[in-house]
Each structure stands twice: as C-alpha cells, then as structure tokens.
Structure 1
Amino acid sequence: TSVAASRSVMATGDESGCVRLWDTRLMGSSTASKGMLPAGCVQQWKEHNDYVSAFETSSDGFTLLASSADCTMSIYDLRMAQQGETDKTKVVRRSDDQEDELLSLLVMKRGKKVVAGTGEGVLAVWSWGTWGDVSDRFPGHPASIDALLKVDEDTLLTGSSDGLIRVVQIHPDKLLGVLGDHDGFPIEKLYFNADKSSVGSATHDRIIRLWDARVLQE
C-alpha cells in the first residue's frame, strides 16, 4: 500500500505493519539515511502488528493516516517527522483497538471526519483530532468493506466482498442505493476516471468494470 504525501515524499505500508516515508529525490542514492534505513527512506515506524491496508492524507498534506488489519489506525504528523522530532509522542498517535480489521480509509466532511471500512461490514467514523475511539459506527454491509471512494464530502462508494458497490451518505448515515454488482466477486479497488463520469472497479475475478457515475449527481 502506498500514497503520495507530497510532491517528493511517498508513504508505503507493508505486510508486517511497517510504515515508511520515502523522499523520491533520494531514491537513487547509494547512501542509506539514518543508519539502517534503505536508501531514500527518511522515516519508518512499526506501530502495527498486521498489514497496513490503506492510507489517507489531510488536504494540507501535514497528516498521514494508516489503517491496519490489526484493528487500529495510526496517525502521523509529517511536519514534526520531517523536522527531525525525536519525541515519538509528538509525531505518532494511534486509535483504540476496534476489535475489527480496518481495511479501507477516507477523509470526509471537509476534513472533519475519517471513515474506515471494516472486516465485519461496519463503517467506523472518527472525528478529526479525536483519535481514540470512534464517534460513530454505521453497520449494514453483510460482508467486509475493502474499498472506499469519495463522491463528495457527504457521500461515498463502498466496495464490499459480497461484490456490490453501494452508495452511502455519511452524517446522517443512510444507504442510498447500489451502483454496481460483480456477481459475488469481492471488490478490491474503486477509482474515478479523470472527469468523474465513470467509476472503475477491480475484483478478485481479474475483471475491471466501468460504471456510469453520472447517476450519482442525480
């Protein structure tokens, strides 16, 4: 799992739960930074004991969020990290254990809410800056929520392991309908095309399907 944190900084998460920051300007360097880190890696944290499933960043690029199958979310202050802050408590926060795998992640409501899709089909919602327990839980999916895609600040798409793409409203929580069906094959990824007229979905059957996203504006 990876995400661009800024023009030159990229974050990656691996199967062991390690989160790393990479400076792409140093990727070709033969000199490793900070001793044991690989070339180009400027920071690493091992907050999770299971794989990192998804990343999100704040709109200003100063905060990185990572969800994990270990049932927690970690939050990183990238400004403090890049300034060389050694006090870990000023750089890293971690949510309470949700007792359910966190598999997908989105920032919603103009940065005021963070939504995670879980293994048991619940949308877990945090209020920004209150990173302990969730402020809201929206059950209703019969299977895991493996992919999330923002439509607007109030609406998102969920890709579930039951093969359905659902349209969901957040706060007030409401299931608005179904956009598409992959005939029971678990959905892994959801993406918009450039003009947001279509949604692409990828599943375990190795088929990519396109759906008319214009209906989302109706």
Structure 2
Amino acid sequence: QQLVVACGDGTLAVVNHEKGKQEASVQTSQDGDVVSLALVKDGERLLTGHPNGVIGVWKWGEWEEPVDYIKMHLESVNAMVPLDSDTILTASDEGLVRLLNVHPNKLKAVIGSHAGD
C-alpha cells in the first residue's frame, strides 16, 4: 500500500495510500537525480538508477541509505525493467541494453546496442 516517488532533486518519497500521508523522504546518496526505478526480489528491493551510471539497491522499508550499489554502467541508467525477481534489463546513455542479475550482481549479457542519435 505504498508508493515510492523519485523526485528531480535526488529525493525518494514514500507515500502510504491507506494513511494518506508521506512516510519517508530521503536524499539519495548519489549525485544528481533519480532517473529510473525498478522493484525486484519479490518487492523486497527497490533499485534506483542515477545519471552517474550507478544503481542504488534499497531494502524495502529501510530508507536511510542503500544497502548496495551496482556499478556496471558508464553513463546514466535511464530505464530499468524487471524480467523476474532477480533479473532486470537496463538502458543507458551509452546506447547499450544490458541484462543484469541482482544479488548477486552480475552482468549476464549486453543484448542490444545502437549508435548515433
């Protein structure tokens, strides 16, 4: 019954629908905005994609700081799509689409790329 919102200033806001109030607001420890979000591990982990290429791994309900970081991108992680509880697709400004495993963090494959505009 919670909604997590990524704000343009790098803040995550957690809103409880039933109570109609904000439960948490945290400044992410990464430089810049949060540009993408994905829920994995059966809802136990929230991933936050950042312009510096890092993915923050947050334990659901523990909003003080990420429990881990995934550093497999050189540029902004603009989109993340969960395929299953442990696997996501990511798209970055590098023009690559990656297949990643989460905990353990591992690059499975680069499954697509494009060049130019």
Q: Could you say whether these structures have the same fold, taking a TM-score greater than 0.5 normalized by the shorter chain as the test?
A: yes
1:96/1:132 CA distance change after superposition, 3 Å: farther
Report which of the two structures shows the higher radius of gyration computed on alpha carbons.
Answer: 1
> SS of 2:52's equivalent?
coil
After TM superposition, the runs of 4+ consecutive aligned structure 1 residues lying more than 2 A away are: none
1:176/1:76 CA distance change after superposition, 3 Å: same
Which residue number in structure 1 is paired with residue 6 of structure 2? 67
Do 1:124 and 1:138's aligned partners in 2 also have CA atoms closer than 8 Å?
yes
Mapped pair 1:138 → 2:70: yes
Structure number with the higher strand fraction is 2
Report 1:1-218 matches (<5 A): 62-81=1-20, 88=21, 91-100=22-31, 101-185=33-117
Q: CA deviation at 1:184?
A: 4.5
Do 1:164 and 1:184's aligned partners in 2 also have CA atoms closer than 8 Å?
no
Q: Take 1:180 and 1:118, find their aligned partners in 2: how far apart are those partners?
A: 20
Q: Take 1:118 and 1:147, find their aligned partners in 2: how far apart are those partners?
A: 10
Do 2:30 and 2:50's aligned partners in 1 also have CA atoms closer than 8 Å?
no
Residue-by-residue CA offset, 1:169-198 (whole Å, 9 max, x unaligned) = 10000111111112154xxxxxxxxxxxxx
Instruction: Give the aligned CA root-mean-square deviation in angstroms.
Output: 1.3
Q: Take 2:88 and 2:63, find their aligned partners in 1: how far apart are those partners?
A: 21
Higher RCO structure (Cα 8 Å, ≥6 apart): 2
Q: CA deviation at 1:68?
A: 2.3
Do 2:6 and 2:35's aligned partners in 1 also have CA atoms closer than 8 Å?
yes
Structure number with the higher helix fraction is 1
Seq. identity, % = 33
Equivalenced residues, count: 116
**Letter of the 2:16 counterpart:** D
**Letter of the 2:17 counterpart:** L
Which residue number in structure 2 is paired with residue 195 of structure 1? none
Q: CA deviation at 1:165?
A: 0.5
Q: Which runs of 5+ in 2 are unaligned?
A: none
The TM-score with structure 1 as length reference comes to 0.51
Q: Take 2:18 and 2:65, find their aligned partners in 1: how far apart are those partners?
A: 24
Residue-by-residue CA offset, 1:98-129 (whole Å, 9 max, x unaligned) = 24221000111001000011110011010010
